[in-house]
Structure 1
Amino acid sequence: MKRVTGIGGVFFQCEDPGKMNEWYGKHLGLPVNQWGASFKWRHEDNPEKTGLTQWSTMKTGTEYFAPSEKPFMINYRVENLVELVETLKAEGVQVVGEMQEFDYGKFGWILDPEGNKIELWEPPAEETL
């Protein structure tokens, strides 16, 4: 079973997400919008298939990172979230909350040994970019 297949996103907390988005857009050229920036790409082994990596700022103190107290969270792309979460549980990894499913994919969360919250994302079979 494949586990992580790539980076789905990078999220970090800041005092003023709008101001940070503007700064990163102006100085680093990130294609920002109100949610951050989306980087579109093609799969190496199947160039017809596209993918997306999200970069987002979030207001300091957001509960989205809880129970982690860290100011960042990495989202990893996975192929079979249900199977992976069951495998991780069996390996003693701490699972946080319940899996959620949306039009844009399935999400699950775990903690690493230092309390960093990790988001696992299974994109829909056909990503819409």
Structure 2
Amino acid sequence: MAKVLGVGGVFFKSADPAATREWYARVLGIAFMDWGGSVFLPQDAAAHPGAATVFSPFDAETDYFAPSDEPFMVNLIVDDLQAMLARCAEHGVEPLLTMAGEANGDFAHVMDCDGRKIELWQPKPME
């Protein structure tokens, strides 16, 4: 029987894709390939027990993605949330919210250059 194996990518529109790639490279350290995307390999996240890909529809009335007007939010797994937030701060990007010690790890919300909310997640090791 056929089944979904996971999320194969996150694709979104941007008014200036080059500027958006530059922001993600500079602020979050994401390396982009010549074709314009970045590939996150499962084995890279496997070094951090508890890391997983979540697929979760939210109620249309949720304010969890605010202040973004986008109907989605991207969650990025990080290996060191505090170091990532320090990197963000070096580029003038401050967290909107931080949530330490949650059941699944530590989280922080930042806004990207296009007004999308990005959730940074340092997973808590699974038991």
TM-score by length of 2: 0.59
Q: 1:100 to 1:93 in 2, by over 3 A?
A: same
1:67-88: CA deviation from partner (whole Å, max 9, x where unpaired): 1110001100001101111220
Question: Is 1:68 aligned with 2:65?
Answer: no
Question: Which residue is equivalent to 1:86?
Answer: 86
Shift in alpha-carbon separation, 1:111–1:30, aligned structure 2, 3 A? same
Unaligned runs of 5+ in 2: 8-41
1:70/1:98 CA distance change after superposition, 3 Å? same
What is the distance in 1 between the residues matched to 2:90 and 2:45? 33
User: How many residue pairs get matched?
Assistant: 92
- Name the CA distance, whole Å, in 2 between partners of 1:73 and 1:110: 11
Give the SS at the match of 2:68: coil
**1:58 alignment partner in structure 2:** 58
Question: Partner residue of 2:102?
Answer: 102
The RMSD of aligned alpha carbons is: 3.1
Q: If each structure's strand is expressed as a fraction of its own residues, which one has the higher value?
A: 1
SS at match of 2:119: strand
Partner of 1:21: none
Which residue of the partner structure matches residue 34 of structure 2?
none
| Alignment match, 2:26 | none
Identity fraction in percent: 31
3-state secondary structure, aligned to 2:82: helix
Which residue in the other structure is 2:116 paired with?
116
In 2, distance between residues paired with 1:71 and 1:46? 26
Cα distance change, pair 102–91 in 1 and its aligned pair in 2 (3 A): same
CA distance in 2, matches of 1:83, 1:65: 23
Q: Distance in 2 between matches of 1:55 and 1:118?
A: 15
Question: By how many angstroms is 1:91 displaced?
Answer: 1.0
C-alpha displacement of 1:103: 2.8
Q: Which amino acid aligns with 1:107?
A: F
